[in-house]
Structure 1
Amino acid sequence: MSAYLQQQAKAPAAMPQAFHSPQLLDFLPLEPTPPATVSHKANCSSCAMRAICMGGNLNDADRSRLDAVIHNWRMVRRGEALYRAGDAFQSIYALRSGSFKTVLAHQNGCEQVSGFFLTGETLGLDGICTEHHACDAIALEDSAVCVIPFHLLEALCREMRSLQQHVHRMLSSEIVRESGVMLLLASLCAEQRVAAFLLNISARQHARGYSRRDLALRMTREEIGSYLGIKLETVSRTLSRFQRDGLIEVKGKRVTLLDLDALDRI
């Protein structure tokens, strides 16, 4: 598990999370997205996440040009949808603050969590292929996203090679993560899946300058189980076992990783 996690930690900063979007089955579109929440003018040049969500190789002039493309940022309240499966694809979204889950609907009516997105990561790339979103994006907490109209981003990429390369890396890393979820579901036992999940969140936080050990898990145990392909009870039981063995400390949604090496050896 160590080599795979190290590879994911080195993924492009815009979308470094692993194990995304297990599109293994056919899914039904859900209802259209409700009206958007209030939007505000965005400014990449003054944003603390600019080097992460749009690459560190853009100079000030490039970021000023991005400002002209990223028209606004939008608040999305906890439990609200940024977009839903079946919605027309128009924009991608850079997560300024907060966190999201993406959810796929099976033909039998059941739902499956396909990914979790943290501050500095990018949502909405699933819509490029068919020009419609394939999943719901639901805020796990009050969150803010920058809205990037894709047709304007494409035009700017033709003029800015550095930005074009960054977008290509984002798309490539999404393919890598699709393979990652296949590996996760096919070859790891429940304990390994939970350990890999914790280490992955840790690596993504660390890439953004946050603590590697102190995690604030905004998702529920049930959502983690849906994502990992295991039952809620298995998630809770595994976390309790890790705590009993001195690997982690759990206080509600806050999890402290006490022994990263031991988790990696599971």
Structure 2
Amino acid sequence: MRASGEGQRCRNEDERALTQIKGSADQGINQNVIPLTITSLKAACSQCNLRELCLPFGLSESEIVKLDTMVASRRRVKRSQHLYRAGETFEAIYAIKTGFFKTDVLLEDGRDQVTGFQMAGEILGMDGISTENHTCNAVALEDSEVCVIPFAQLEGLSREIQALQHHFHKVMSREIVRDHGVMMLLGTMRAEERLAAFLLNLSQRFTARGYSPQEFHLRMTREEIGSYLGLKLETVSRAFSRFQEEGFISVQQKHIRILDIAPLKQLLAHPPA
């Protein structure tokens, strides 16, 4: 079926890119782009509080300065605006500085199939490396800001700094592993297990950024969660209600509080036969 094939192609682009990395032109400038001055460069990578998530460990000061100069600009993306669209020429990758995004593909019936959610400290745009065209849309779920990293410069600097090249491959590999997990989730798990896995994954990612693992705000709608998990809206709502009735979580609109994480983990550790 073409719909599922489109989503699968988007998820598989990173895997093919590990063996086919190509350069591209510098990122264009528009009214939402913030050019970096010499002063602001000093606070680009070296002073960023997300540095440990985006950069490899053990870089020298001179290597970090080179990375600072590679970040050509920052770009503000308003809620519901596209960072890039499927079919557009691949020019750069984007490190999310603030905000939250979703990636999706457009199905034949006009619906959006969500293929992932990305938060601060994560990388967007790698879907375009293999074909030199983006295969997914990237849409801001809230007002966001990204660091624009022209891929041609990243490719050149990676040849100079081996640790950077290794780290970039690790980032790509992590995305592949995550996508494989999603495929397993969609293929083998019941609705409640899928939602438990989704909430636990968000909890882990928020923890890595220094936020509470038990309490967070969902930037995505339940429809978007359902699209990502392969569930209908009604099924997602029932699963949330059941978790709340059982005392696993507390839900106030989009605000989630995990009251008892053990049963959520147990759902994944002991699936039904």
SS of corresponding position for 1:172: helix
Q: Percent identity?
A: 50
Alignment-derived partner of residue 154 in structure 2:
153
The alpha-carbon deviation at position 36 of structure 1 amounts to 5.9
* Mapped partners of 1:199, 1:206: distance in 2: 10
**Contact 1:102 1:113 (C-alpha < 8 Å) held by counterparts:** yes
Q: 1:25 aligns to what SS in structure 2? A: helix
- Counterpart CA distance in 2 for 1:84 and 1:115 is 15
2:5 pairs with 1:25: yes
Shift of 1:107: 3.1
Contact 2:80–2:139 (Cα < 8 Å) also in 1:
yes
1: CA distance, partners of 2:31 / 2:158 = 27
RMSD of aligned C-alpha atoms?
Answer: 2.0
Contact 1:222 1:232 in 2 (8 A): yes
Match of 2:248 in 1: 247
Unpaired runs of at least 5, structure 2? 11-29, 268-273
1:104-119 aligned at under 5 Å gives the runs: 104-119=105-120
* Residue 131 (str. 1) matches residue 111 (str. 2): no
Q: Residues 230 and 36 (structure 1 numbering): CA distance in 2 closer, same or farther, change over 3 Å? A: farther
Counterpart CA distance in 1 for 2:254 and 2:121 is 21
The equivalent of 1:37 in structure 2 is 32
Q: Compute the TM-score of the two structures, normalised by the length of structure 1.
A: 0.86
Question: SS of the counterpart of 1:26?
Answer: helix
Contact 2:33–2:73 (Cα < 8 Å) also in 1: no
Gaps of 5+ in 1: 1-22, 30-34
CA distance in 1 between partners of 2:178 and 2:32 (Å) = 30
Find the counterpart in structure 1 of residue 71 from structure 2: 70
Q: 1:24-44, CA deviations, whole angstroms, 9 ceiling, x for partnerless residues?
A: 413799xxxxx6623242511
- Alpha-carbon spacing, 1:139–1:36, altered in 2? closer, same or farther (3 Å): farther
Paired letter, 2:32: T
**Residue matched to 1:174:** 175
Summarize deviations over 1:70-109 as a string: whole Å, max 9, x none: 1111110000000000010010000000100001112343
Check whether the contact 1:25–1:106 (CA below 8 A) recurs between aligned residues: no
| CA deviation vs aligned residue, 1:19-69 (integer Å, no higher than 9, x gap) | xxxx9413799xxxxx66232425111211111112333232221110111
AA partner of residue 163 (structure 1) = L
Report what 2:223 is aligned to. 222
Q: Whole-Å Cα distance in 2 between the matches of residues 149 and 180 of structure 1? A: 29
> Retained in 2: the 8 A contact 1:202–1:212?
yes
| Distance across 2 between alignment mates of 1:260 and 1:61 | 44
CA contact (8 A) 2:96 2:121 kept: yes
- C-alpha distance 194-257 of structure 1, shift in aligned 2 (>3 A): same
Describe the shift of the 1:225–1:184 C-alpha distance in structure 2 as closer, same or farther (beyond 3 A): same
Q: CA deviation at 1:223?
A: 0.4
Q: Aligned AA for 1:112?
A: Q
* Structure 2 SS opposite 1:103: strand
SS at match of 1:85: coil
TM-score, length-scaled by structure 2: 0.84
Post-superposition offset of 1:258: 1.0
